[in-house]
């Protein structure tokens, strides 16, 4: 049974990757259909993805997926062979099939079965695509004399592509290339990739070579260029191959002179090696979590060793066993730090893994809403913990839906307001210290603070007099209340009152914050700020009142010694002035225990923390030291605003870990209710 579960996990990981690539290529195909020029390579890539899915689903016994992908493969084969054509409606059906395949993967991941009715419906839709438009594959023109030796080894698809190149007037070349056996793979890939940039590689055909140390290949190549231009392109580029010959194979033959670019690839592989080309290994995130927990426990043991070292030094001085143990402690500390850093690196993945999925989401919902929307993604290379990315998917989906439904207007409305017909949604990510900031910005209608205020009064959330006294930011906070929506008409995309409250709740679980900047008629920007990882952190151990806390070091900008005279009062709020900048003061003890009175102290510690545009000075009694901590979540019964979890530090005991993002969010928005 465990072996079966392992196999299913392998299938799910492989299927998700293939479906992501399939979706991306379908988007390319749709754009090419709109532009009127469809690249054969794109259609062929879609066909190969469907073929691979059919193969692995059959191997793992996923019958429902095998049935659909088999039908899909047949249609795509007809498409790439020119027997049928496809339009936007056909691509839309293929997108629906991809969504269905994703549903099957999700169901299998949960161990559920899938309804065969949906499979039957999908097959009917694919049949409609297959019967949309048939064409006759034309024979070779009479004036074309094809080399029969080449024609005899071409596959049906390769022969079709050869005919298409001849039909469109491209010249056809056979470029002979030979590579040393040890560098054959790299050399052939480099050459074919370059040739694809200037034409079409129709086929790669094996050929005999007099040199036993080299492999010779003929590359059947078509291009809409003259022979001299291609000759110059190949001559001027260091292809790392030896071009033996090039000749036209049609009657309108022109000779191509021989030329030999430099050869520079050196072999670094042993002849006959069985090593894999890729060094990538898929690892279940739960396994990484288990290793992280072990590393955290080792960190706690290291802390205990350090405490023993300090006792020995006090009792015996820095000599003998105390000195030796101190050296071991320092070495262990260094190696543990390296291990923690490497483990965090392993967990980090580019946020493009999430961003790329929203291209399809925007396309689908914009079609349903009859809107024209372009999605721009920036900073996709920014890395974030894999676990956070998975948990972020749903909140980000809610935000994107709101941008499409509430934000971007229909084309006619945009033109009447003097805007471009196509609306823009920008998805950006960038790193800021130990946090990642994600921005979702649209150039749509924006939010009306007045409409939100009226809806809040209408729902009985606040009376008219009190609502009139609220600032714009305070009014915007209403959208995070469960069940709140300004949309009267319910749609499949939004208007159900489910969305932004879920976003805020999920972000709080990830120790993140959300900020909104909107201007009516101009658009809305929603800013999410999240920690890079939820794994091992460095933290300051502080004392506030009679209690100890752990403050994550990632958000700490500066530590100051604060005297009572340094604290000023401005608009009934405590502040300090640092380098001509006024910074609000937040007393940590009073944040959690508002009724406690501040104890008079000559000197305190001020921890300057920053998140996005917000900077605060958190006031504590004193700082004990710095430790590596592993945060353990609290049970729901004990969840407290401003607390991220707890950590065990051996002799220092179990400490609560401060949620800097939560504290800043609460303090910035004037939240007075605290849970003690």
Are 362 and 470 contained in the same domain?
Answer: yes
Using alpha carbons only, what angle is made at residue 384 by residues 378 and 388, rounded to the nearest 5 degrees? 115
CATH of the domain at 414: 3.30.565.10
Domain boundary among 130, 161, 190: 130
CA-wise closest residue to 249 among 141, 139, 147, 143: 147
Question: Mean pLDDT over residues 437-458, rounded?
Answer: 90
Same domain, 559 and 634: yes
Residues 378 and 491 reside in one and the same domain:
yes
**Torsion, CA 152, CA 153, CA 158, CA 160, rounded to 10:** 10
Write down the pLDDT at residue 425.
94
**CA 357 – CA 27 distance, rounded (Å):** 11
At residue 211 the predicted structure's pLDDT band, cuts being 50, 70 and 90, is: low
Residue with the bigger pLDDT between 41 and 630: it is: 41
Q: Which of 19-23, 209-213, 484-488, 629-633 has the highest mean pLDDT?
A: 19-23
pLDDT tens readout for residues 543-601: 988 889 999 887 788 899 988 888 888 878 888 888 888 889 988 888 888 777 666 56
Tell me if 177 sits within 8 A of 244, measured CB to CB. yes
pLDDT band per the 50, 70, 90 thresholds, residue 525:
very high
How high is the mean pLDDT of the chain? 78
pLDDT band at 471 (very low <50, low <70, confident <90, very high): confident
Q: 143 in a domain, yes or no?
A: no
Quick one: which of 142, 194, 140, 189 has its CA closest to 166?
140
CATH assignment of the domain containing 227: 3.30.70.260
pLDDT at 252 over 50: no
pTM score: 0.67
Provide mean pLDDT across the span 319-340. Answer: 85
Domain that holds residue 628: 536-668
| pLDDT tier, 247 (very low <50, low <70, confident <90, very high otherwise) | very low
For residue 663, the model assigns a pLDDT of 84
Give yes or no for a contact between 309 and 325, defined as CB atoms under 8 angstroms apart. Answer: yes
Q: How confident is the model at residue 257, as a pLDDT?
A: 40
Q: What percent of the chain has pLDDT over 90?
A: 7
User: What number is the average pLDDT over the span 107-111?
Assistant: 80
Neighbours of 146 (CB within 10 A): 17
**Total structural domains within the chain:** 5
Is 395 found in the same domain as 296? no
| pLDDT at res. 422 | 92
Nearest residue to 182 via CA among 263, 126, 265, 257: 265
Question: What integer pLDDT is reported at residue 379 of this predicted model?
Answer: 92
Q: Give the pLDDT band of residue 368 (cuts 50, 70, 90).
A: confident
Q: Over 368-386, what HEC string results?
A: HCCCCEEEEEECCCCEEEH
Mean pLDDT of 166-193: 76
Query: CB 187: neighbour CB atoms within 10 A?
Result: 23
49 and 116, same structural domain?
yes
At CA 139, angle to CA 133 and CA 144, rounded to 5? 140
User: Environment class of residue 131 by beta-carbon count within 10 Å: exposed (0-12), middle (13-18) or buried (19+)?
Assistant: exposed
- The model's confidence at residue 363, banded by pLDDT at 50, 70 and 90, is confident
| CATH number of the domain encompassing residue 31 | 1.20.120.160
**Does 499 share its domain with 561?**
no
Q: Judge residue 593's burial from the number of C-beta atoms within 10 Å of its C-beta, 0-12 exposed, 13-18 middle, 19 or more buried.
A: middle
**Residue with more model confidence, 334 or 141:** 334
């Amino acid at each position: 049974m465990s072996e079966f579960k392992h196999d299913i996990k392998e299938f799910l990981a492989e299927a998700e990757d293939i479906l992501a690539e399939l979706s991306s290529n379908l988007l390319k195909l749709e754009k090419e259909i709109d532009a009127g020029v469809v690249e054969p390579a794109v259609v062929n890539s879609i066909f190969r993805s469907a073929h691979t899915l059919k193969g692995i689903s059959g191997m793992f016994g996923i019958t429902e997926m095998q049935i659909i992908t088999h039908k899909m493969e047949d249609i795509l084969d007809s498409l790439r062979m020119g027997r049928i054509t496809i339009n936007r409606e056909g691509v839309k059906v293929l997108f629906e099939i991809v969504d269905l395949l994703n549903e099957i993967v999700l169901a299998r991941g949960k161990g559920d079965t899938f309804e065969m009715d949906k499979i039957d419906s999908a097959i009917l839709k694919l049949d409609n695509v297959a019967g949309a438009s048939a064409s006759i594959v034309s024979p070779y023109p009479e004036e074309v004399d094809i080399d029969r030796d080449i024609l005899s080894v071409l596959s049906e698809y390769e022969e079709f592509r050869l005919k298409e190149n001849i039909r469109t007037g491209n010249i056809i070349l056979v470029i002979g290339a030979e590579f040393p056996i040890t560098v054959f793979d790299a050399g052939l890939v480099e050459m074919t990739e370059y040739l694809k940039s200037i034409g079409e590689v129709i086929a790669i055909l094996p050929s005999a070579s007099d040199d036993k140390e080299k492999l010779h290949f003929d590359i059947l190549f078509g291009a809409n260029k003259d022979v001299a231009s291609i000759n110059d392109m190949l001559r001027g580029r260091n292809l790392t191959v030896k071009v033996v010959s090039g000749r036209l194979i049609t009657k309108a033959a022109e000779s191509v002179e021989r030329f030999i670019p430099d050869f520079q690839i050196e072999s670094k592989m042993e002849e006959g090696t069985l090593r894999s080309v890729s060094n990538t290994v898929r690892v279940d995130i739960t396994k990484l979590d288990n290793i992280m927990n072990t590393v955290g426990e080792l960190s706690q043991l290291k802390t205990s060793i350090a405490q023993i070292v300090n006792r020995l030094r006090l009792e015996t001085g820095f000599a003998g066993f105390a000195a030796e143990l101190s050296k071991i402690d320092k070495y262990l500390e260094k190696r543990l730090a390296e291990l923690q850093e490497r483990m965090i690196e392993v967990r980090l993945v580019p946020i493009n893994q999430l961003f790329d999925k929203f291209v399809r989401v925007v396309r689908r919902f914009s079609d349903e809403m009859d809107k024209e929307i372009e999605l721009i993604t920036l900073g996709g290379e920014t890395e974030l913990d894999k676990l956070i990315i998975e948990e972020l998917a749903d909140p980000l989906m809610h935000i994107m839906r709101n941008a499409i439904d509430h934000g971007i207007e229909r084309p006619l409305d945009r033109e009447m307001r003097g805007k471009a017909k196509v609306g823009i949604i920008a998805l950006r990510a960038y790193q800021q210290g130990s946090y990642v900031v994600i921005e979702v910005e649209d150039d749509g209608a924006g939010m009306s603070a007045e409409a939100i205020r009226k809806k809040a009064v209408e729902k009985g959330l606040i009376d008219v007099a009190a609502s009139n006294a609220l600032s714009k930011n305070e009014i915007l906070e209403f959208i995070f209340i469960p069940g709140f929506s300004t949309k009267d008409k319910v749609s499949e995309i939004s208007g159900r009152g489910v969305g932004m409250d879920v976003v805020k709740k999920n972000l709080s679980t990830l120790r993140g914050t959300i900020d909104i900047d909107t201007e009516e008629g101009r658009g809305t920007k929603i800013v999410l700020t999240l920690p890079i990882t939820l794994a091992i952190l460095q933290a300051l151990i502080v004392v506030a009142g009679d209690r100890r806390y752990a403050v994550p070091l990632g958000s700490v900008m500066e530590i100051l010694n604060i005297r009572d005279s340094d604290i000023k009062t401005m608009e009934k709020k405590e502040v300090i002035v640092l380098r001509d900048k006024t910074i609000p003061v937040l007393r940590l003890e009073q944040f959690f225990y508002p009724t406690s009175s501040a104890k008079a102290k000559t000197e305190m510690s001020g921890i300057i923390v920053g998140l996005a545009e917000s900077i605060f000075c958190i006031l504590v009694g004193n700082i004990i030291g710095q430790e590596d901590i592993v945060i353990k979540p609290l049970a729901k019964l004990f969840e407290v605003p401003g607390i991220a979890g707890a950590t065990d530090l051996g002799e220092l005991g179990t400490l609560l870990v401060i949620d800097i993002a939560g504290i800043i969010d609460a303090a910035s928005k004037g939240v007075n209710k605290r849970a003690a």
